[in-house]
Every structure is written in structure tokens, then in C-alpha cells.
Structure 1
């Protein structure tokens, strides 16, 4: 059985990246044209394979301090340690300012708007920062095309196309404002110990296999499974069947949007809105029956979840799952190491899959962000920041983050998945597939990234206003049990007023 699953997994990896045109040959071709500086300086360091001009002075920015504002996540945690080696070689002092999502957006956007230049390097959310303040970011083409500067090997071709469109571009596909930095994706977490123990009992009562991941595991059945667990599984094993993210927060918009897309609904009639982005939301259209259906399904999903769900965001839900209170939750994949670490009550008891299906598909929302340079800083700081970005987004650093004990964030580079090191890493982890975190996490996310399972949010210049209307009305629908048609009409009227 293990050999069969391993073969399927390898086929999944190879098939996915053959389709995208990623090959070892392409990677080798990307290394042609430039040579690195003297081996005695870089040999043995994580700079060794970077594309750096021969006469480039790696110490030219010594004494420079760069503040990097970033969301508190896996990449930031690991880079805060690894940046010491970067500083030792370059003399650049990197100060990583990690903070929660809301504080990040507020501080990053205020710094760009005020043009104060306090943060030289910025973790830019495509829907909160790049869309609104891209004119305050360095257009990276000017650095990419400078032959005297280090080069991001394989950018943009070596990065997933959908991730580059979302995180790097705004409207113009030829202008790059950021480099894909992380790849967080919403998937389903569930307690495999509960699902295995009560599998037969549930099947005898309901007549279907309740294992998540199949097309038969719909959002309607997700609610039914949550209710069954509440009634039949002792609280000593798990308190609630599921936990959701209904707080008046970005999380509720993300969660509802996955359900909307899974039932064939959308917010706009414009294919570019979900990738490169658009300025206006005049073409929004929520008049179809699929929008009402998604609202009704979401109300049902939350009504069968832990009662606290109406006030939870993704952090609260992850904490509840980690504490053993809930059996299922949609959440960002980067939480896998958090819910499986030594302090977790559910360590070794977790399984992963794509989100439940609607009538049309499973819709797994991609939530990655980019790393960008503040336009309102000195030229010296811009070039120093560029050197850091070249290093931080390299294949070597992405492998290090993936393999780090505190890591697990999946690489944004396609070539990393063809690298012999990651294949060896996977083989080393496959000794016990039933208890393997990395294997099942990787499998679920790669499945979520398939075109038929992927969901991308609308990217608008005025996304803040658009999302605020959705967030407020969705939350009110849950706490006041409002009729879905009334909620739909409220959303439509408020968006028309903004237009």
C-alpha cells in the first residue's frame, strides 16, 4: 500500500510540473549567461548558487540597516534566524518586523502612503497593499534588467504562473512590483483518529463514506458530519464537529468565497479580476441563484459548527483545533506545523485534504503574498534590498524553509519540486506514511493548486471597500440569522452606492 501511494504521489509531482513546462533542462538553461563572484568568498555559503556578476562587491552595503515588515508566519520565523548568515556575508543588518495580519496591513500601507520609508522591504498582500499602493513600490523591472546587479534566477518563468499574476503584477502583466514569497493555501484539516474510529458507525447510519477529499464530500455533507460528531462522539475526545471563521474579519470573506466559487458563483463578470486585477468594480454581479445558494450553505455550515465560530478568525480556529476542541476546520496550510508541534494535543492525529465540494468543484483559495521594495528610500537601500530579495527567494532558501523543523511552507518555485534534494527529503519522510505530516500536507496543497480546484479572489484597486461590505454583511447574517436574499440585496445596494 505504501509503495502504491508513493507511486501515485510521484506521478502527481511529475505530471503537475511537466504540464507547467518545468524541467531540469530549463533550470540548467537559466544558469547560463552569468557567473558568480569568487568561489573563495561564496563557496559553502547559501550564496554559492546565486547569479551574481563577477565584479559585484558583496560588501558594498556594509553597515546598511534594512527593516523588513512581514506577517508573522513560517517564512518570517525561519528567515529571522537565517538572515544572520546573510548579514555575516554582506554586512547588511536585517531587522524583521513580524506582526499579525491586521497590524501588518495598517503599518505597511501607512508607511507607503506617508512616503516615510521606515520599512525598506515589505511583505505585500496583493489585495490590501499591491492593489492600492503599487505606485509606491519599486517597479522591479529596473533592477531585473540591470546587468550590474544580482539576478533572481528564473524569474518569472520558474515561479508558478498563477502565483506571479496574483502577487507580482497589477493590471499590467509586464510590470513586476513583487516576487512571490509564500504560497499559503486554504485546505481542510480533520482529525483522522476520529474519522477512523467512527467510520463504520457513521457509514451504517448515513450510508456513505465520510472521508474528506472525494467529490461526494460536499459542504452539505460537511455540515451533516459536523452534526453527527457533536451528537455521537464524547466531548472527552472532541467537543465540536467543526470550527469556522465567522468573525468580522478578512477570514470570513475568504471562507465564504471558497463556498461561493464551489457552487459556480462569482462576484464579477471579468476574467482578469482574479489575476492581474482591475481598478473598478462596476461589473460586479451577484444577482444569480448561485450567490443565494452559497449564502444558505454558509449559514448552515456555521450553524453546525462550534458556537464560538461566529467570532473566530483563522488564528482562533487553529488554536481550537490544536487544543482538540474541533474535528474539522478550513484553514491556511501553513498552520500544519503549528497544529502538529510537540505542544499540540492533536499531534499525530491530523489529516489533510482539499476543501469540500459544491455543485461545481472544490474551491481552495490561494492566499500567498509577495516581497517588494519601498519606492521612498535611497538608491543604495533599494539595491541592498534587491540583494536580500534575490537571496530570500532563491531555490536554496525555499528548500531550507520547507525542510526546517519549524517550516513546511511550500516553495513558490517550480524547479524546487524537481530538485533531487526535495525528492530525497520526501523519500526520507515516507517511512511511515500514516504519521507523515510533510507528505500529506504536500499532497493536499498540490491537489488544491490544480486548475480545477484553485480559487483566486478578485483583485481590485478599491478591494478594501468591496471586502468591507462583504465582511460586515456576512457577519451580520450569521449573528442575526438574516435571510439570504435580504443579505444579497444589502450587499448589492451598498456596493452600488460606493460605485
Structure 2
């Protein structure tokens, strides 16, 4: 995942920019002029000749989907111009298009935390009839019933309406160096030092011990080999960036915290302070550059064998097993995020994105077919086989994928444990306030308590007139 931090609210900044910036329209073709022919596989060709303009985050899922586009054109006669952009840039482009009503993008893959803001402003169109009806024009290999229910609801349902389909089933989980954990000498040394067996962490205390144990300098030994580079016990995101907020929320939730309690901000609760204090302790075992790290850097650390474990996004697991780029192919293990004490219920941070149709699009029908094709069993399996993450139950339970992808079972398990962050219209401001507070505490500029007290005050001001939060 690639995202650049913004110091001010993305929505506010882009709305201001919209007053002076325009985008050239690039949609072409009308959905009403094509043939009514239906192909043998059931896909409608009624919009043949239409060009769709789609934007998605620059991730493996989008890159892999782009390779499959000739299949969509073959089935429907619809061509797709697929633009890819980093997280923040994508949101900026989306909001600019929405606020200027240019309709440059027909279909947008949006981060689900913006669902409430975009739906409330009527920037995206409800798709109840198509999504919960007969999916008119979709082919035989599409079934809405196959979409993972909890994932779909979190990513696409706002109040009484459905606004699209999940475009990414990203969920956070624990990555760990299986080869190091399985090494006999490491097992003996760990038990001698800590008094219990070395195994993937079940609790945060164990996670901290393991981070300390595997934190070793260049030239030391790990797993029976001399280290060419330093090995860090853990890698974390610590930059003033949404990546830092989302990682911290795992520590918060599993330690009993949350952003809201009884509909009111609870940023500086004791549980949240404890979670931030704990994460600050972990940074002793992280790369020195963690204060500039987002999910991109944590992914690179893991992929290059520079860290023993991390709490990170499941949609980067494919990168770990990529023989052309990874030094840890076959060496990585995947597990539940640790909990405060054994027996507690695991939770995992959901990071889904959503295909939605621009309310200003003139190609809504063709856009619906694109969404259905992207969520068809044919496309989803191809996505999975090339390292992406699907959103269908059938793809996650496909026997060939389960047997060939070492992270596959854990992805589905973590999705079952997933919890959503707030999707309310004020999310952008909340994220900004939290990113500043967390980065300052993790870098040692202020204490966890002081940082969260400051964030509490800012978020209370931001939410003034909108409390209590009754739907998120």
C-alpha cells in the first residue's frame, strides 16, 4: 500500500483546491447505444463501445486486475481506462471530481472509512436494485451471495443503502519468521531466557519478549546463519500517517480500548494510553527509521528479512512469497493478532476498499457490469492466483488455493475476526488528529498520556454537534 500523509483534513484541503483546479473530462461513450446481445456466458453486451474510467489504489490487487481487463472487454465490449494512485492521492482525486461534478471517473475504488462522508453528500450512487436484486446483465460466474457477508456490509452498506462491492479484502494479521521460530537452537535459547517455549505470540507480553529476543546486530547469528544486516525484533509504522493510526488501533482494541465509547470520544482512556505505551516500548526493537515508516516500509522490512515479526496488512502476504522480489519466500508464517491475555477473543483490523459508482457518471449500467465482473468467480480466482486478495467465500475455500498459498487460511480466519474503524463523515479529521498524536508519542516528543489528551480535545471539537455517534 502506498499513501502520503496530509497534515490537514483531506476533504477540507481538496474542497479548497477544487475552487482553482479543474480536470479534463475523459468519459466517452453512452451506455444506451450498444447491442442488446448476451454472450454465451451470460454477460450483457448492451453497452458495447462504452469506455469506463476507473480509479483504484496502486496495490497488487489493482495491478493484477488491470491484467484481467481484456477478459472484461471480450465479454462485454466495454473498454476500461484504469488509473492507479496512492491512497491520499486517490482520495484527493475522488473528492475533486465529486465536488466539481465533472464525472471524470465512472467507478471509484474508495477506502471504506470514507463511505459515510461520500454517501451523506450523495457523491456515490446507491445500487440496491442491482446489488440486492437480479444483477441484470451480469454473467453466470457472478453471484452476490458469494461475497463474504461481513466484509460486504462493512465496506459497502451505509444506513439503509448499499453503495457497491468490496474491491479489496485487506485485513491486518501477524507475520512472523517461521524459519527462525522453528530453529532448534533458537528454541533452546529462548526457553532458557524466558522460561517458556518459543512459538508465534498469542499475547502481547509474548510478542514483546520475542521482539527483544530476535533483535540482533549485523554479524550476529540468527537461525544458524550469520546476519549480513541487522535483524530487528519487530517493525512498526511510526510516521505521522494513517498507517500508524490503523496499526495502533489493533493494540487499542485488543487491550480494551476504542476511539468511541457510548458514542462519545474516548481517545485518552486508560486502555488507549496503555496501548500506546506498549507500542512505544516495542519501538526499542524496531528499525531506527520507524518514525518515517508507513506500511510500505514495514512491508519492505519483512520482505527483505530485516524483521522477525510485525502486525501488518494481509494483502502484502503475496509480496512475501514473490520469488522475484522477496528474501523470505517459504520462511514467513501468518497468525492471529495477539491479545492481552490468553483466552481473549482475537480481533483484526479490516481495511476494505469499495467499488462505487460516481453519482455524476453517465455510464452507470456499464459501471455495474464492471463491478460484477471484478467480483466474479473467474476474476477473483485469477486475482488470488497472482497474489491478490479476493472477496468471495468460494475463492478463499478453493482447495487448490488453500493448498498452494501459505497465508490463505489465515486471511479468511482474520476476516472472520475483523473489526471496522469508524466510517463516519468526520473520519478524515479524526485520522489526522490521531496520526499527529501517535507519531509524537512514538518518537518521544511527548508522553502517550499527553499525546492522547491533545487528540481527545481536538476530536471533541471536531465532533461538536455530532455526538453521540449512533451509527458508524
TM-score bracket relative to the smaller structure: 0.7 to 0.9
Q: CA deviation at 1:424?
A: 4.1
Distance in 1 between residues matched to 2:209 and 2:361, nearest whole Å? 55
| Kept in 2: contact 1:192–1:349 (CA 8 A) | yes
Offset at residue 375 of structure 1 (A): 0.9
- Listed as ranges, the matches of 1:353-392 within 5 Å are 353-359=335-341, 360-378=344-362, 381-392=363-374
User: Within the alignment, does 1:125 sit opposite 2:111 as a pair?
Assistant: yes
2:148 to 160, 165, 171: 160
Contact 2:64–2:388, Cα closer than 8 Å, also in 1: no
- Alpha-carbon distance between aligned partners in 1 of 2:339 and 2:328, rounded to the nearest angstrom: 25
Count of equivalent residues: 412
CA distance in 1, matches of 2:268, 2:296: 33
CA distance change for structure 1 residues 487 and 382 in 2, over 3 Å: closer, same or farther? same
1:249 maps onto 2:241 in alignment: yes
Instruction: Give the unaligned 5+ runs of structure 2.
Output: 1-35, 465-472
Aligned residue in 2 for 1:137: 124
Structure 1: how far apart are the matches of 2:89 and 2:361? Answer: 22
Quickly say closer, same or farther: Cα 1:416–1:321, change in 2 above 3 A: closer
Flag the 1:355–1:91 CA change in 2: closer, same or farther, 3 A. same
Query: Which residue of 377, 380, 391 maps to 1:412?
Result: 391
- RMSD of equivalent CA atoms: 2.3
- Candidates 299, 302, 322, aligned match of 2:303: 322
Q: Offset of 1:309 from its aligned partner?
A: 1.3
Counterpart contact for 1:124–1:178, Cα < 8 Å: no
Equivalent of 2:383 in 383, 392, 401: 401
Partners of 1:68 and 1:222 in 2: CA distance: 41
After superposition, the C-alpha distances for 1:247-297 in whole angstroms (9 at most, x for unaligned) are 111110111100000011111135xxxxxxxxxxx6222353212211211
Task: Check if 1:461 corresponds to 2:446.
Answer: no
Relative to structure 1, is the Cα distance of residues 145 and 287 closer, same or farther in structure 2, using a 3 angstrom cutoff?
closer
CA contact (8 A) 2:174 2:312 kept: yes
Aligned to 1:81: 67
Matched residues in 2 for 1:145 and 1:402: separation? 25
1:132 shift after superposition: 1.4
Distance in 1 of aligned mates of 2:135 and 2:388: 34
Q: Compute the displacement of 1:188 (Å).
A: 1.3
How far residue 83 of structure 1 moved from its aligned partner, in angstroms, is 0.8
Matching of residues 347-358 of structure 1 within 5 Å: 347-358=329-340
Query: 1:99-130 CA distances to partner (integer Å, 9 max, x unpaired)?
Result: 222211211222122211111110011113x2
Query: Quick one: distance in 2 between partners of 1:147 and 1:210?
Result: 52
Does 1:305 find its partner at 2:286?
Answer: yes
Residue number among 203, 207, 212 corresponding to 2:191 in the alignment: 203
1:212-291 equivalences under 5 Å are: 212-213=200-201, 215=202, 218-231=203-216, 233=222, 235-236=227-228, 238-270=230-262, 283-291=264-272
The 2-side partners of 1:84 and 1:160 are apart by 26
Determine the C-alpha separation between the residues in 2 that align with 1:119 and 1:325: 40
* Alpha-carbon separation, structure 1, partners of 2:454 and 2:131: 46
**Superposition TM-score, scaled by structure 2 size:** 0.81
CA drift of 1:477 comes to 0.7
Q: Map of 1:414-493 to 2, 5 A cutoff?
A: 414-417=393-396, 422-427=398-403, 429=404, 438=405, 440-450=406-416, 453-493=417-457
